[in-house]
Amino acid sequence: MSHIENTADVSAGARIGADARIWHLAQVREGAEIGAGCNIGRGAYIGPDVILGKNCKIQNYALVYEPARLEDGVFIGPAAVLTNDLYPRAINTDGSLKDGSDWHAVGVTLHEGASVGARAVCVAPVEIGAWAMVAAGSVVNKDVPAHALVAGVPAKQIGWVGKSGHRLVLEGDEWVCPATGERYSVADEQLAPVG
């Protein structure tokens, strides 16, 4: 059974999966789909028609703007932002206030197990590969390969991470997870499991 705090603002038009938890002051907009087992932290914002797979964790005050797509097991750190506007302006060139018809939303896509650290910003449209990790405070403005560790402004790849989230260590020509012992190889700038 899902748990929704009384102070959360959850649209009747949102779909909430089994065992999801939505905490104080979080807002989930119309058309959003929250997968089973998701945890939406205090003050987080989930925009209209955003889709979260199962077991995602959206930390306090994170902003997930439509039309973001998060696969299973994605982590969004505190105060992280997934943007949706390529040309942000409050007004049109004639000085009139912009409205919903004056722009086209573009989204961020995060694949299974990906993590975005605290206060990081993912500038749409970008795609974050499976099990990749975006370091806290980074600004991602280009796609991130699966298992890549990126950091900085703008974010650049500084290593590889395994499914456990630990940074992989190079042993000979293979990358090894110090936590699990999983081994990977790199071909064409892509990480793949060995064996």
Q: Which of 124, 120, 161 is nearest to 143 (CA)?
A: 124
Give the architecture (CATH level 2) of 3-161.
Answer: 3 Solenoid (2.160)
Residue 133 C-beta-side C-alpha neighbours within 13 Å = 14
**CATH 2.160.10.10 occupies which residues in the chain?**
3-161
Residue 166, H or E segment: none
Residue-wise pLDDT tens digits, 85-117: 999 999 999 999 999 888 889 999 999 999 999
Q: List the pLDDT tens digit at each of the 195 positions of the chain.
A: 899 999 999 999 999 999 999 999 999 999 999 999 999 999 999 999 999 999 999 999 999 999 999 999 999 999 999 999 999 999 999 999 999 888 889 999 999 999 999 999 999 999 999 999 999 999 999 999 999 999 999 999 999 999 999 999 999 999 999 999 999 999 998 999 997
Strand 75-76 vs strand 115-116: parallel, antiparallel, or unpaired? parallel
127 contacts 112 by C-beta, under 8 angstroms: no
Spatial neighbors of 127 by CB under 8 A, at least 6 apart, are 108, 109, 110, 111, 143, 144
**Token reading at 192:** 């793949």
pTM of the model: 0.95
Strand partners, 163: none
